[in-house]
Amino acid sequence: MAEEVILTANDLMTGPPSPVIPRDLAPRVLDGVDTCSDRLRALFECLHANEVEPFCQDHIIMLRRCTTHRAAHPSEWRARA
């Protein structure tokens, strides 16, 4: 009879670390990208829900930016709903 093994997030994070974006390049990674777009937001929500660590802080920052943008431009968001 085979033994059942339950993997946790720590077990799954045994590979090489995620690549680090150089500091001088990092501010320009999302240049020209609508960070409040539905598709990009869905991607970050998926990564966050699945506890993909390198994106958690970026996700929080993006949600804050989207919330601020939504508050400043309510008519745009009502049209999308």
- Tell me which H or E stretch contains 49: helix 38-49
- pTM score, two decimals? 0.30
Amino acid, res. 6? I
Cα–Cα nearest to 52, from 81, 12, 1: 12
As a whole number, mean pLDDT of residues 76-80 equals: 59
In the chain, domain spans: 36-81
Q: Are 44 and 55 in contact (CB under 8 A)?
A: yes
**Per-residue pLDDT reduced to its tens digit, 11-68:** 555 655 555 666 676 666 667 777 677 777 777 677 667 666 554 566 667 777 777 8
